[in-house]
Amino acid sequence: MGVSALLAALDEDESEVGQAVALLAAAGIENSDELGLGEGDRLLLELCRSVTGADLEIVAVCPACGQLSEAVVSPEAVPEATSRMVPLGKGGGLREPTYRDLRTLPANPEAALRQLLTRCVVGSPSRAPEPADLELVDDSLTGPIAIACTACGEPIAVDVDVQRAVLERLVRRAREIDQEVHLLASTYHWSLDEIEALGDERRRALAWLVAESR
């Protein structure tokens, strides 16, 4: 499947979770709805690489020297996904949420949290799940990661939400493709079908040439 057809999956849903599920499904992942968030985040990093040709980049200002520092988050650099479960007393436990667990939750944050906890209970545990239990089973790539400042070497803690960051990057890539198609259509007067048939690499290369010659 071409990149633009893949990115069209972004329009299938307005929610972040829905977009992640639709994208992964379009990329050929079966039952993407049932993926744990941790595994999903790692697959999104791989998708980011295959669609944009580069790993996810994060930029942060170094508090020590004030310089902008850049780091890439590659699928190889993050810890491997683990399937997590914590016991809740006896007879059962809490498992990591899947994408499906996060869909159609109540709008009220407190009610949503309660509902999510209920959905992730396995068996008939002797005690009810608490929000702190959820943190223990959370394997998603969210939270501060440490990067070394490229200017002064000081460590910088950067808050990253891989799901959001990858989706934002892919939305940007979809706009870039629109731009490329527009440049080619207005320059060569090719039809959209003809431009589509070029393939991603060639479309990108030709659009770059047009942009350069202006």
Q: Which residues bind Zn ion (CB under 5 A)?
A: 62, 64-65, 149, 151-152, 154
DSSP 8-state code for residue 173: H
**149 vs 207, beta carbon nearer Zn ion:** 149
Distance CA 132, CA 178 (A): 44
Cβ closest to Zn ion, residue 22 vs residue 147: 147
Closest CB 70 distance from Zn ion, rounded Å: 12
Min dist CB 23 to Zn ion, Å, is: 35
Angstrom CA distances, 169 to 30, 47, 52, 181, stand at 23, 11, 8, 18
Q: Hey, what amino acid is at 46?
A: E
The distance of closest approach from Cβ of residue 195 to Zn ion in the complex, given in angstroms and rounded to an integer, is 44
Q: Min. distance of Cβ 69 from Zn ion in angstroms?
A: 6
- Smallest gap from Cβ 87 to Zn ion, in A, equals 44
CB of 146 to Zn ion, least distance (A): 13
Q: Which is nearer to Zn ion, 68 or 205 (CB)?
A: 68
Q: Which is nearer to Zn ion, 66 or 89 (CB)?
A: 66
Asked whether the beta carbons of 37 and 44 are under 8 A apart, the reply is no
- 113 CB neighbour count, 10 Å cutoff: 15
- Beta strands 68-73; 56-61: pairing state: antiparallel
Place of tokens 């990057």: 169
Structure tokens at 102: 């996060």
* DSSP E strand boundaries for 74-113: 85-87, 92-95
Q: Which is nearer to Zn ion, 23 or 58 (CB)?
A: 58
* Tally of CB atoms within 10 A around 168: 13
Instruction: Return the closest-CA partner of residue 145 out of 88, 71, 63.
Output: 71
Judged by beta carbon, residue 53 or residue 66, the one nearer Zn ion is 66
Report the C-alpha gap between 174 and 4 in whole angstroms.
7
